[in-house]
Amino acid sequence: MSETLHGIAVSGGIAIGRAELVRSLRRDVPHYLIDAAAVDAEVQRLRDARSAVAQRLQHMRDAAPHDLPADVAAVFDVHIMLLQDEVSAQGVEAWVRERRYNAEWALASHLEEVVRQFDEIPDDYLRERKADMEQVAEHMLRWLQGQSRRSRRAQAAAAPGEGAAPLALVARDLSPADTLQFRRGLFAGFVTDAGGKTSHTAIVARSLGIPAVVGTRRASEVVHAGEWLIIDGDAGLVIANPTPAELSDYRFRQRQHQIERERLARLKNTPAITRDGRHITLLANIERPADTAAAVDVGAVGVGLLRSEFLFMNRQGKLPGEEEQYAAYRRAVEGMQGMPVTIRTADIGADKPLEAAHPAAASAAALRRLNPALGLRAIRWSLSEPDIFLTQVRAILRAAAHGAVNLLLPMLTHVSEICQALALIARAHEQLDARGIARGPVRIGAMIEVPAAALMVRQFAQHVDFLSIGTNDLVQYTLAVDRTDEDVAHLFDPLHPAVLRLIAGVIAEGVAQGKPVSLCGEIAGDAAMTRLLLGLGLRHFSMHPSRLLAVKQEVLDADTTQLSEWAKEVLASDEPAALLAAG
């Protein structure tokens, strides 16, 4: 008899496959005491595990330039730095040396101690970071026990006449590294007990186009290994042990999805023009220069956001020099074949730290003083390190000699920050001229991603050439919701009236002052939001390349003259989501 579970739809599509269950290795850790003579060998096992896992994560991160969203890349960097943390390593080894625990038992015991420390921290952001420690420990345990979460096709039963059955992964939670195993093509989709719409694994699933449902709370307990599973990534439904009729129905829906994907692919070279003749600019968000190939392949007319953090992360304190940065930015500019590239200056801080935090070694008092999301990050960090900022700006200006480049300043809150940044940019021009090095012109943009910036946009616009709305942070800061915290993830709502009114105000002010406004947050790539954003006056969208064609279809079907009045009704409503669904 089939059983239907309800969760959160995070990545659309239909997946049908045999259930592959992933259970936490911490439940089955072997416990035994070792002889004194075996201590050094057991400690070496721990060190080998750390080294092997760090290398594997680094390889996975480097091998996924097209599919790795920035905040997920930051998680990889944090995990790698946690593995390289000597204080944490010594803490685990102490359980072996002092208590003679075997390596697995020592690792699990140390983790439990650290998790308890996290639970006592009053800061919600830091308390939720315990998931990073748990995921790192899971990777090490997997290595120590000689296991892998990579599924084996031979274990999947075959449906009659259909060959080897695809697999549907079911777990309590998955790390970004686990999710990227989907790249190997073994999994049709995934289901988790935990997670929210904006969790890291959800973002990876969307970027890879893999059906996924999270937040089911009990799928890993209800679903049995090897049974058929249907994952409806559009409705947020999971059907365990479906009936023949349910399988037939969903296989038909799968075929319809495939037909739709093939139809969208034919829109690549179609200009993005609405039915009433409005030209809409569809740009790509990219993480690394190599991602320009994916942007060009789907018909993007430029890069609306190149996140430069990839050059700064996981460097063990050695920051990139001007030549290294220039070479990277030049590759991106040349990769876009004459189309414009917008480079955001380093958004360092919050979930993208230069060095890993070491909660196990830090005092509770120090941890209480930290609130990374509200601390020294993005433009604040750049202005506090003018030499580093000047190095980056010089590299960007030099890359601009090879094509159209825009420079975007992140997380602005004060006009004074813009003025300081402009003064440093002017100095960078002078420094290059003094050295006789070629440079190109750049347009300067202000990123609007905190309520203060949205409310000050009239003043901001007087100092810059364009505006770019970063809705991921704008929603987070407006609603005071950590989008990575599953306990409050349901409150992360881009359709909240306050958020929509801030977005509408920024767009209207940009139009009034003749300054282009782009939107580069997650909602830019949400086709369900396209008509509303067009109605609010948005004409420049920037998104992950995998979302561009679906958004283009919405643009081609839209009439902005009709959408404008409807958007005003949505904006005035206390329940915008209801009007959006009805419209």
Q: Is 200 a catalytic residue?
A: yes
Give the pairing of strands 281-286 and 517-519: unpaired
> Crossing angle, helix 70-83 and helix 39-62, to 10 degrees?
160
- Specify which residues 16 forms β-bridges with: 230
CA distances to 182, 382, 419, 424, 428 from 431, rounded to whole Å, are: 47, 18, 18, 10, 5
The Cα 302–Cα 327 span in angstroms is 19
> 9 — alpha (psi -120 to 50), left (phi > 0) or beta?
beta
The terminus-to-terminus CA distance of the chain in angstroms comes to 38
Q: What is the DSSP letter of 537?
A: T
Q: How many CB atoms lie within 10 A of CB 562?
A: 13
Residue 370 CB-density burial (10 A; 0-12 exposed, 13-18 middle, 19+ buried): middle
Catalytic residue among 66, 402, 520, 544: 520
Q: How many CB atoms lie within 10 A of CB 561?
A: 13
Close Cβ partners of 461 (under 8 Å, ≥ 6 residues apart): 446, 467, 509, 510, 513, 515
Catalytic residue among 200, 402, 540, 544: 200
Residues serving a catalytic function are 200, 520
